[in-house]
A and B are shown apart, each in its own frame.
Chain A
Amino acid sequence: MSELRWHPFLEEWVITATHRQDRTFLPPKDYCPLCPTKPGGFPTEIPRSSYDIAVFENKFPSLQTPAPLPSVGDTPISPVAPAVGRCEVIVYSPNHQETLAQMPVARIRNLISVWQDRYLELGKRNDIQYILIFENKGEAVGVTLHHPHGQIYAFPFIPPKIRQELSASRKYYEKHHQCLFCATLEEEQSDGRRIIFESERFIAFIPFFARYPYEVYLAPKRHLASIAEFTGADRSDLALTLKGLLMKYDALFGFSLPYIMVIHQAPTDGGDYPDYHFHFEFYPPLRTSNKLKYLAGCESGAGNFINDTLAEEKAAELRKVGPQTIAELV
């Protein structure tokens, strides 16, 4: 059972999805549901014995179409609505052990093509207003399947964090006639201390206002609102920059770093968003090799992050490790 329940104090929807309690949880490697189905073997979610990239509707979706009717009636202050939308799983590779950081650049580029295609296809739907592409990596961020994969949530509304960013971007644009993110990039490039890795078209940096010690933004240097606007050259350059950053993450503590990776881009609600800038946000949960950054009282209770580190120092750490040039990636 899933439904949308309105939070009147925060003015945002909460998705309830009780069936997700029963989802597959850390199965043994031989019973991974995202591996190819081998002849005579255990039937996985993917019937073929080989594939490049596979995308399928999540077996335990938070959002789906048609959506079940809500389990309760609403009241004037507690609206409830069907959890319409779509949840997809993107399986990056048939290889169970591989991570995105380990994949060859050409195959990362393929994945970017799939992200672009999913954005274009799902974005055509009238009942979808926002497409969130993301990856949760590592048990530290709650991963239940280790096979390399990401997810897509196609929302029937614009999620609250995106609404906040859109509002801030619009306000800045109206006042300065410039994209807020482009202005931020100018500052970061001018300062230079927080930049981690860059290619001709993309740049990765720890933002001035980072909330997590190793939080990174990765964005196109020129103004692009969504992945729909990417050319083949953009996909190639993004693949290089993404691989460079992920290799640096893995080199940081000498193990495959857990992270949450999300793509923020223009909604697909039919609106015009000349003031919004496509970017990735990465939130690794670690503050040292063996200490987690918890979202405790201040963060969870007040919505205010306390970062125990300085972005300039953490960026210097990431700059030093892993690949130093694009040429090392191919």
Chain B
Amino acid sequence: MPKNDSDFTKEKIRLPDGRELIYYDFNHETLPENSVKRSIKQTVTDEK
């Protein structure tokens, strides 16, 4: 399986009843609409 190249951070906590909860936080500065715009205006190979 390929290495995960996502730019998020994960924080795992336990809820009071013992269940696991995971927060996924994303860096919106580096994952902006620009990257999406680029993917439709140019070839998308630069995002690999």
Contact = CB atoms under 8 A, between A and B. Distances in A.
| Consensus secondary structure, chain B interface | mixed
Contacts, number: 108
Interface of A: 45-48, 51-57, 59, 104-106, 109-110, 113-114, 116-117, 120, 199-201, 228-229, 231-233, 235-237, 239-240, 326-327, 330
B36 A52 contact: no
A47 B36 contact: no
A45 B20 CA distance: 11
A236 B24 contact: no
Interface of B: 1-2, 4-6, 8, 10, 13, 15, 17, 19-26, 28, 31-33, 35-37, 39-40, 43-48
A232 B32 CA distance: 13
B44 to A, nearest CB: 4
A233 B45 contact: yes
Contacts of B8: 52, 110, 113-114, 117
A109 B36 contact: yes
A191 B48 CA distance: 31
A48 B22 CA distance: 11
A240 B37 CA distance: 10
B32 A106 contact: yes
